Chain A
Amino acid sequence: MSVTTTSLSRRDFLRSAAWGSAGLVIAMALPGRGRAATMDTQAANSSLIASDAAGFAPNAFVRIAPDDTVTVLIKHIEFGQGPFTGLSTLVAEELDADWSQMRAASAPANAELYKNFAFGMQGTGGSTAIANSYMQMRKAGATARVMLVQAAAEQWSVPVGEISVDKGRISHAGSDKSAGFGEFAEAAAKLDPPEDVALKKAGDFRLIGTDVPKLDTNIKTNGEALFTQDLHHDDMLTVVVAHPPQFGATMKSVDASAAKSTPGVVDVQPIPTGIAVYAQDTWSALQGRRALKVSWDTARAETRSTREITDAYRQRAQQPGRKAASRGKPEQGGDGLAKTLTAEYSFPYLAHAPMETLDCVIHAKDGAVESWFGSQLQTGDQGTMAEILGVKPAQVSIHTMYAGGSFGRRAQPGSPFAAEAAHVAKAHAKSRPLKLVWTREDDIQGGWYRPLNVHRLSGGVDADGNVALWDQTIVGQSIFSGSAFAAMIKDGIDPSSVEGAEDLPYGIPNFRVTLHDGEAGVPILWWRSVGHTHTAYSTETFVDELLEMAGKGPVEGRLALLGEHPRHAGVLKAVADLAGGLDASESGRARGVAVHKSFGSYVAQIAEVSQNEDRTPKVHKVWCAVDCGVAVNPNVIRAQMEGGIGFGLGAALYNEITLEEGGRVAQANFDRYRSLRIHEMPDVEVTIVTSDEDPTGVGEPGVPPIAPALANAWRRLTGDAIRDLPFVKIS
Chain B
Amino acid sequence: MKITVNGSSHEIDAPDDMPLLWAIRDRLKLTGTKYGCGVAQCGACTVMVDGQPKRSCVTPLKFAAGHDITTIEGMDGAEFEAIQTAWRAIDVPQCGFCQSGQVMTATALLKEKPAPSDTDIDNALAGNICRCATYVRIRQAVRDAADTLEA
Task: Decide if A and B touch, CB cutoff 8 A.
Answer: yes
A678 to B133, CA, bound (A): 8
Residues of A within 8 A of B1 (CB): none
Cβ of B100 and Cβ of A80 under 8 Å apart?
Answer: no
B48 touches A (CB below 8 Å)? no
Residues of B within 8 A of A670 (CB): 37, 39, 41-42, 129
A360 to B16, CA, bound (A): 28
Contact string against A for B residues 1-23, beta-carbon threshold 8 Å, 1 for contact and 0 otherwise: 00001111010001100110010
Q: A31-B8, A643-B132, A646-B135 are in contact. Are A677 and B39 (CB under 8 A)?
A: no
Within the complex, which residue of B10, B97, B100, B133 is in contact with A356, where a contact is CB–CB below 8 Å? B97
Cβ of B95 and Cβ of A355 under 8 Å apart?
Answer: yes
Cβ of A224 and Cβ of B32 under 8 Å apart?
Answer: yes
Residues of B within 8 A of A227 (CB): 31, 34, 97
Which residues of B (108-137) have their CB < 8 Å from a CB of A?
Answer: 121-123, 125-137
A32 to B25, CA, bound (A): 12
Q: A32-B8, A224-B32, A283-B19 are in contact. Are A677 and B95 (CB under 8 A)?
A: no
Within the complex, which residue of A222, A355, A437, A644 is in contact with B42, where a contact is CB–CB below 8 Å? A355
A623–chain B nearest beta-carbon distance, Å:
13
- Nearest B residue (CB) for A223: B32
Cβ of B133 and Cβ of A647 under 8 Å apart?
Answer: yes
- Nearest A residue (CB) for B118: A679
A669 touches B (CB below 8 Å)? yes
A681 to B96, CA, bound (A): 18
Within the complex, which residue of A82, A221, A676 is in contact with B87, where a contact is CB–CB below 8 Å? A221
Cβ of B34 and Cβ of A281 under 8 Å apart?
Answer: no
Interface range, A side: 35 or more
Q: Which of A134-142, A398-406, A688-696 participates in binding chain B?
A: A398-406
A635 to B25, CA, bound (A): 33
A547 touches B (CB below 8 Å)? no
A480 to B7, CA, bound (A): 53
A232 to B135, CA, bound (A): 31
A28 to B99, CA, bound (A): 23
Q: A263-B15, A405-B132 are in contact. Are A230 and B91 (CB under 8 A)?
A: no
Cβ of A221 and Cβ of B103 under 8 Å apart?
Answer: yes
Cβ of B73 and Cβ of A223 under 8 Å apart?
Answer: yes
- Nearest B residue (CB) for A649: B133
A220 touches B (CB below 8 Å)? yes
Cβ of A355 and Cβ of B91 under 8 Å apart?
Answer: no
Cβ of A639 and Cβ of B91 under 8 Å apart?
Answer: yes
- Nearest A residue (CB) for B83: A221
Cβ of A80 and Cβ of B93 under 8 Å apart?
Answer: yes
B139 touches A (CB below 8 Å)? yes
Which residues of A (337-361) have their CB < 8 Å from a CB of B?
Answer: 353-357
Cβ of B95 and Cβ of A403 under 8 Å apart?
Answer: yes
A43–chain B nearest beta-carbon distance, Å:
15
A86 touches B (CB below 8 Å)? no
Within the complex, which residue of A222, A224, A643 is in contact with B133, where a contact is CB–CB below 8 Å? A643
A676 to B122, CA, bound (A): 12
Which residues of B (57-72) have their CB < 8 Å from a CB of A?
Answer: 71-72
B26 touches A (CB below 8 Å)? yes
Cβ of A677 and Cβ of B134 under 8 Å apart?
Answer: no
B146 touches A (CB below 8 Å)? no
Residues of A within 8 A of B92 (CB): 217, 221
Cβ of B95 and Cβ of A642 under 8 Å apart?
Answer: no
Q: A220-B99, A354-B95 are in contact. Are A229 and B37 (CB under 8 A)?
A: no
- Nearest A residue (CB) for B5: A32
A238 touches B (CB below 8 Å)? yes
- Nearest A residue (CB) for B84: A221
A227–chain B nearest beta-carbon distance, Å:
6
Cβ of A222 and Cβ of B91 under 8 Å apart?
Answer: no
B43–chain A nearest beta-carbon distance, Å:
10
Cβ of B22 and Cβ of A283 under 8 Å apart?
Answer: yes
Cβ of B19 and Cβ of A671 under 8 Å apart?
Answer: no
A670 to B42, CA, bound (A): 7
- Nearest A residue (CB) for B103: A221
- Nearest B residue (CB) for A280: B26
A213 touches B (CB below 8 Å)? yes
Within the complex, which residue of B22, B29, B72, B134 is in contact with A30, where a contact is CB–CB below 8 Å? B29
A221 to B7, CA, bound (A): 21
- Nearest A residue (CB) for B14: A283
A214 to B74, CA, bound (A): 24
A18–chain B nearest beta-carbon distance, Å:
20
Cβ of B38 and Cβ of A439 under 8 Å apart?
Answer: yes
A33 touches B (CB below 8 Å)? yes
Cβ of A217 and Cβ of B91 under 8 Å apart?
Answer: yes
Residues of B within 8 A of A635 (CB): 91
A227 to B18, CA, bound (A): 23
Cβ of A355 and Cβ of B31 under 8 Å apart?
Answer: no
B84–chain A nearest beta-carbon distance, Å:
5
Contact string against A for B residues 137-149, beta-carbon threshold 8 Å, 1 for contact and 0 otherwise: 1110000000000
Residues of A within 8 A of B18 (CB): 283
Q: A214-B91, A283-B19 are in contact. Are A229 and B133 (CB under 8 A)?
A: no
Which residues of A (207-251) have their CB < 8 Å from a CB of B?
Answer: 213-214, 216-227, 229-230, 232, 238
B144–chain A nearest beta-carbon distance, Å:
13
Within the complex, which residue of A282, A645, A650, A679 is in contact with B26, where a contact is CB–CB below 8 Å? A282
Interface centre among B72, B88, B125, B133, by most chain A C-beta atoms within 10 angstroms, is B133
Cβ of A229 and Cβ of B125 under 8 Å apart?
Answer: no
Q: A33-B73, A220-B96, A671-B39 are in contact. Are A356 and B15 (CB under 8 A)?
A: no
Cβ of A33 and Cβ of B7 under 8 Å apart?
Answer: yes
Contact string against B for A residues 345-380, beta-carbon threshold 8 Å, 1 for contact and 0 otherwise: 000000001111100000000000000000000000
B82 touches A (CB below 8 Å)? no
A327 touches B (CB below 8 Å)? no
A676 to B103, CA, bound (A): 18
A-B contact pairs, 26 of them (CB 8 A): A28-B29, A29-B29, A33-B73, A216-B93, A217-B92, A222-B72, A223-B30, A224-B32, A225-B96, A229-B34, A263-B15, A281-B26, A282-B22, A282-B26, A282-B35, A283-B18, A283-B19, A354-B95, A354-B131, A356-B95, A440-B37, A635-B91, A669-B39, A677-B127, A678-B130, A679-B122
Residue positions of B touching A, CB distance < 8 A:
5-8, 10, 14-15, 18-19, 22, 25-39, 41-42, 44, 71-74, 84, 87-88, 91-100, 103, 121-123, 125-139
Residue positions of A touching B, CB distance < 8 A:
28-35, 38, 79-82, 213-214, 216-227, 229-230, 232, 238, 263, 281-283, 353-357, 402-407, 437, 439-441, 635-636, 639, 642-647, 649-650, 669-671, 675-679, 681, 683-684
Give the top 4 A-B pairs by smallest Cβ distance, nearest first.
Answer: A223-B32, A646-B133, A404-B97, A80-B94
